Structure 1
Amino acid sequence: MTRSILRGSTALVLLSLCPAPALAQDTGTDLSTVSGFLGTLYLTPGKRDLSLGGAVSTTTIDGEEIEDRQAGTVAELIDSVPGVTLINGSTPQGSGINIRGYGANSTYGNDQKIAILVDGASVGSEELYRIGTQLFTDPLLYRQVEVLRGTMGSFEYGSGIVGGVVKLETKNASDFTGGVPGFRVGQTLEFSSNTAGAVSSTTLAWQPTERAEFLLNYTWRQQDDQVDGDGNVIGNSGFETPSGLFKGKFTFGQDDDHSLTFSYSRTLADDKDVPYDTFDTTGGTFGNVDRETDTSQTTLEYNYNPVSDLVDLTATLSYADQQIDYSYVPGSSPLEGTPTWPFLEPTVNAEQRYETTKFTVKNVALFQTGVVDHQLRSGVEVSRRVRADNEAGSAPGGEDNRLALFLIDEMRAGGFTITPALRYEKSKVESAASYGSYENDALMGGLAVAYDFGNGLSVFGSAAYTEGLPIIDDLGGSAANEWRMTTSEKSHTFELGASYAGTDLFTPGDNFSIRGNIYRTELWDITSYTASGSTSVNLDRVETEGFELEASYGLENGVYVDFHGATGQGTEYADGFADEDWRNQPATTLGLTLGKRWNDTLDLSWEVRHTADARDATLNDLSDYTVHNLRATYKPQTGAFEGTEIRFGIENAFDLDYTGNLSSRKAPGRTFKVSLTKLF
């Protein structure tokens, strides 16, 4: 099905990438843009700003959209990004992020083929059995979320990345003070009907001078077990997660060319008598546990940006720490007392802790060679991941030490932009038990080419190759473990696409932008997946392909339309087994948002999202489903309520009973949400 879709879509894709200079010259309209290595971020009239003009498929969700979406989890913030699939995304526990068919799956929260960064710290990457992504953090801590899809944009952030990168940036004090010295207090209260959900987020922002700023945030979020569209309770869907953030920044030196930023965030969860298996709704085979989760990220960043174009130096030291302690609830497992129990018991009675320390130094240099303008990004990264040893067979202990070098050169000449990228990575994994020590290395990279026609239209293509080096989770005493620890997973991805942006197209003052791309990925030397029906035969290769599209159109009177869509399919191959559909392939999704703004005062929108060709976690076909969401944002501009923001939302407005693609439990039914934000 998708092959025909891709063939039919190529013509559409080749009608669409765009440069800001051309728009300014051709239309005479001052469009707001933010340029960077990944392209130009166009501030559209709709909910979603589009990144155009670069070869990396990028979607940015800003602070305004974060608040408007009233998401309960970080995963729910990005569920409208093309190619992104949420697995049980309405709770922190058991949720996962899947991009283009890679990332979270029905067994682990991450297969190492996507990366998640919080202020540069690597989080949520452990393969803990049936535990989810471990992305325990609150969406209200963040000012921006950026999703880079595919491999081409990943070489600055890691190796073996096939699905993409999720980058989260915490809020700054200046977001509240407006960059003006002073003290501000922000308070958000939110309530939801499904079921007894409540949020309180308090922010203290102090800017004593223009060169110093401090932020302190405490967010408390709680909900009881939700109900689905048929009114049935969704087991294991309640949670309580207090979160905190402290962030400070100093700017100093001649011409303010030095800055030092410190960020610390932490989220706790203390769950009593809940299923060990966070993907499931009942205790099942594993039974119930008391589970405490303590996760934190700490980042210290130094930036030196003098007048020279050759120096924009950033040094970042990050530390991510997560501890998950389980205590089995006696009598909750049907296997207790059977011959299987001695094998299972250490898994449900365990103390698991893993820490990732990373130091990255990178520089951005601007220079010319003849007629070619260069933006050269180069850097070195040293990391150390430690997992405490424990008796749980699904989580071996050890250390993973790595050294990486990366080089990305964006070269512009005439209408062409050519970007070669390289990353070299070397690793040494040592077991905390008796599984030995292993060293591996790999050279990977890609090439992106874009051409700007000078009239708002551009086309691009890229080819990228990456390798996923063995990890602590691959340690063990079997021959299969030995093979995994000496073999890197390999993949290549090819993309082709285009985008367009312009104004005054159909009526004076309108604004239109569109970006589309097709991709094809092949993964081989697979160590992370076995053939369907086997626990010992690894897949030989996986082939996936898909099409993604984002568009936005707005009129001068405030009416806007946002659209996003994606489709994909894949096939997995294993010697001696029949070819199967790729078990984690994304469904076909279409999203349409119709809205209208009345200046900065009122924003009303209706979001429709349709999903087809979906399957649940056990790969059973699901019926197509269409979900409707309504949102309203009211911001009084004068009077006693100036500085107040009132938001009202209805999610799953028609109370549809459905299960999301690749999910193991029902989605929540109709949910009313109301929030009040005040800046004092």
Structure 2
Amino acid sequence: MKFRPDLKISLVAALFTSVTFGAQEVALSGVEVTATGGAQEIDAAKVNVRNAALINDVMRDMPGVYIGGTNSLNQKIYIRGINDRGLNITIDGARQKGNAFHHAADLYIDPDIIRSVNVGLGVNSVVGTSGALGGSVAFKTADASDLLEDGEVFGGKIKSGYASNNKEWQESLTLYAKAFESLELLGYVGHRGYGRGESGKGEKLGGNNADNTNYLFKVGYNIADYSKITFSAERMQMKGDFPLRAEWGTTDDSSLVDTKYWRDTYTANFNLNPNDYVDLDLNAYHTKHEAKSSVNAGVKTYGAKAINKTKFETGYIGHTLVYGTEIYQSKSYNKNDTSNTPDDKATSLSVFLEDQLRTGGFTLTPGIRYDNYKLNTMGGTQGIAGRADYHGTSGLQL
């Protein structure tokens, strides 16, 4: 379609007349822009509407964050191009140091139990992102108090779903209750069974005969109105026929390997927050990752952490002091090693102090951290034994 010249002139003249003679001054309200120091968070409301089957479904729209993989064994998190080997990843405060097999991912978590995800981009903090190249990812699982409405004391949720591409069936049951005004209980069991899916080109993806189960039990007790103690026990287990090198994938069913991966995590958390000067979090945990296929290896991690936050103001500057200490130990083992080689072991102890300064819409986070890291490695049957002992202070962080 073409406009006639006289019609084009008429339209321009009408537009000019409307702008010139019909314009009125309009006072617009102010626009406020806020930032949180590079952190991004997905809350429970967003998680609930995603109907997620994999972590990729939960975090798919976070800038700078990419989740790779086509099955539950190789869901690797990348932050600005750095994968989970260079990130600090925690579940309810428990570090995930699960490099059981270098071709598989370290993170195994059921999206159905996630309450929130907090991602710290970069290494601008000596608290959460120190020791990592790309940042941190902190997962929190749901409590009974997150699911119960005001006045409710008992509830449950039954969920089922089906995906046609890989013929996946998903079923889960969640029960939660509150008793004596202070005691909270939550129990969850979830299952996913699926076969091989297809890409847009018709190529086979993922694993076959998959049988994934997740169990979570949590008990919490509220002490007064400003303190809570929580215990949790969880197992995430995946079985099926998967590619040996999970991140490579394969279109040949005959090359799939009977595989079993699982994660056991036990946590104890205590929070005390009576005023702006005391916001104390104590956390102790044990996590075990194990793989059983052509490799038969695992990683055990024990740790504890104490962090307090103190808020105050000096003039126009708001301060949040964050200070504490953390200790953890990771041991890796290989059950296929018949030479009785001792387990590799790494121990880390740290003390840190950070001040989050806020003024005029700007935030600075100067901090200092001391780390003592020891590594004893025997290298397995083909490696080289060695020891490393590092201790030092991290400089000012902004």
TM-score, normalization: structure 1?
0.50
- The question of 1:312 aligning with 2:293 is answered no
Please show how residues 416-427 of structure 1 align to structure 2 within 5 Å: 416-427=362-373
Change in CA separation of 1:28 and 1:79 when aligned onto 2, cut-off 3 Å: closer
Q: 2:292 aligns with which of 302, 311, 325?
A: 325
- The question of 1:152 aligning with 2:124 is answered yes
Change in CA separation of 1:124 and 1:240 when aligned onto 2, cut-off 3 Å: farther
Measured in 2, the distance between the counterparts of 1:218 and 1:173 equals 14
CA contact (8 A) 2:97 2:299 kept: no
Report what 1:188 is aligned to.
159
Measured in 1, the distance between the counterparts of 2:235 and 2:193 equals 16
- The question of 1:136 aligning with 2:118 is answered no
Measured in 1, the distance between the counterparts of 2:38 and 2:68 equals 22
For residues 485-539 of structure 1, what are the alpha-carbon distances to aligned partners after superposition, in whole Å with 9 as ceiling and x for unaligned?
Answer: xxxxxxxxxxxxxxxxxxxxxxxxxxxxxxxxxxxxxxxxxxxxxxxxxxxxxxx
CA contact (8 A) 2:352 2:369 kept: yes
Measured in 1, the distance between the counterparts of 2:122 and 2:363 equals 19
Q: 1:52 aligns with which of 8, 15, 34?
A: 34
Report what 2:320 is aligned to.
375
Which piece of structure 1 moves more, 224-233 or 410-419? 410-419
Question: How far 1:171 sits from its partner (Å)?
Answer: 0.7
For residues 324-368 of structure 1, what are the alpha-carbon distances to aligned partners after superposition, in whole Å with 9 as ceiling and x for unaligned?
Answer: 112xxxxxxxxxxxxxxxxxxxxx3x3212111110001111234
Report what 2:24 is aligned to.
none
- Higher-Rg structure is 2
Q: 1:62 aligns with which of 33, 43, 57?
A: 43
CA contact (8 A) 1:311 1:365 kept: yes
Report what 2:168 is aligned to.
197
Measured in 2, the distance between the counterparts of 1:102 and 1:127 equals 19
Q: Which amino acid aligns with 2:124?
A: M
Partner SS state of residue 46, structure 2: helix
Question: How far 1:231 sits from its partner (Å)?
Answer: 2.9
Report what 1:264 is aligned to.
233
Question: How far 1:70 sits from its partner (Å)?
Answer: 2.0
Measured in 1, the distance between the counterparts of 2:389 and 2:240 equals 39
- The question of 1:408 aligning with 2:354 is answered yes
Change in CA separation of 1:179 and 1:126 when aligned onto 2, cut-off 3 Å: farther
Q: 2:197 aligns with which of 223, 226, 231?
A: 226
CA-based RMSD: 2.9
CA contact (8 A) 1:384 1:402 kept: yes
Q: 2:269 aligns with which of 298, 301, 308?
A: 301
Question: How far 1:102 sits from its partner (Å)?
Answer: 0.5
Question: How far 1:52 sits from its partner (Å)?
Answer: 3.3
Change in CA separation of 1:283 and 1:72 when aligned onto 2, cut-off 3 Å: same
- The question of 1:161 aligning with 2:152 is answered no
Question: How far 1:389 sits from its partner (Å)?
Answer: 4.1
Measured in 1, the distance between the counterparts of 2:140 and 2:122 equals 20
Measured in 1, the distance between the counterparts of 2:319 and 2:52 equals 40
For residues 230-285 of structure 1, what are the alpha-carbon distances to aligned partners after superposition, in whole Å with 9 as ceiling and x for unaligned?
Answer: 333325366321101111211114xx33210112221111224x43111233398x
TM-score, normalization: structure 2?
0.83
The answer to which structure, 1 or 2, has the higher relative contact order (CA under 8 A, 6+ apart) is 1
Q: Which amino acid aligns with 2:232?
A: S
Q: Which amino acid aligns with 1:362?
A: I
Is there any run of 5+ residues in structure 2 with no aligned partner, and where?
A: 1-27
CA contact (8 A) 2:176 2:187 kept: yes
For residues 410-431 of structure 1, what are the alpha-carbon distances to aligned partners after superposition, in whole Å with 9 as ceiling and x for unaligned?
Answer: 2345555432122221111112
Report what 2:299 is aligned to.
354
Please show how residues 520-599 of structure 1 align to structure 2 within 5 Å: none
Question: How far 1:315 sits from its partner (Å)?
Answer: 0.8
CA contact (8 A) 2:122 2:129 kept: no
For residues 388-416 of structure 1, what are the alpha-carbon distances to aligned partners after superposition, in whole Å with 9 as ceiling and x for unaligned?
Answer: 245569x9941111101121112345555
Report what 1:120 is aligned to.
93
Question: How far 1:97 sits from its partner (Å)?
Answer: 1.3
Report what 2:246 is aligned to.
278
Q: Which amino acid aligns with 1:99?
A: I
Question: How far 1:27 sits from its partner (Å)?
Answer: 5.0
Change in CA separation of 1:303 and 1:228 when aligned onto 2, cut-off 3 Å: same
For residues 407-460 of structure 1, what are the alpha-carbon distances to aligned partners after superposition, in whole Å with 9 as ceiling and x for unaligned?
Answer: 111234555543212222111111256713320123225544xxxxxxxxxxxx
Change in CA separation of 1:413 and 1:84 when aligned onto 2, cut-off 3 Å: closer
CA contact (8 A) 2:204 2:251 kept: no
Measured in 1, the distance between the counterparts of 2:194 and 2:143 equals 27
Which piece of structure 1 moves more, 419-428 or 214-223? 419-428
Which piece of structure 1 moves more, 314-323 or 257-266? 257-266
- The question of 1:291 aligning with 2:259 is answered yes
Measured in 2, the distance between the counterparts of 1:440 and 1:310 equals 33
Measured in 2, the distance between the counterparts of 1:279 and 1:123 equals 19
CA contact (8 A) 1:213 1:248 kept: yes
Is there any run of 5+ residues in structure 1 with no aligned partner, and where?
A: 1-25, 30-41, 43-50, 104-109, 327-347, 449-680
Measured in 2, the distance between the counterparts of 1:385 and 1:423 equals 21
Measured in 2, the distance between the counterparts of 1:371 and 1:228 equals 56
Query: Alignment identity in percent?
Result: 25
Question: How far 1:117 sits from its partner (Å)?
Answer: 1.0
Question: How far 1:186 sits from its partner (Å)?
Answer: 1.0
Change in CA separation of 1:84 and 1:446 when aligned onto 2, cut-off 3 Å: farther
Q: Segments of 4+ in structure 1 off by > 6 A? A: none
Q: Which amino acid aligns with 2:306?
A: V
Partner SS state of residue 383, structure 1: strand
Q: 2:308 aligns with which of 357, 363, 371?
A: 363
Report what 1:463 is aligned to.
none
Q: Which amino acid aligns with 1:119?
A: D
Report what 1:586 is aligned to.
none
Q: Which amino acid aligns with 1:435?
A: A
Change in CA separation of 1:445 and 1:188 when aligned onto 2, cut-off 3 Å: farther
Measured in 1, the distance between the counterparts of 2:201 and 2:269 equals 49
CA contact (8 A) 2:209 2:240 kept: no
Measured in 1, the distance between the counterparts of 2:171 and 2:261 equals 20
Report what 2:4 is aligned to.
none
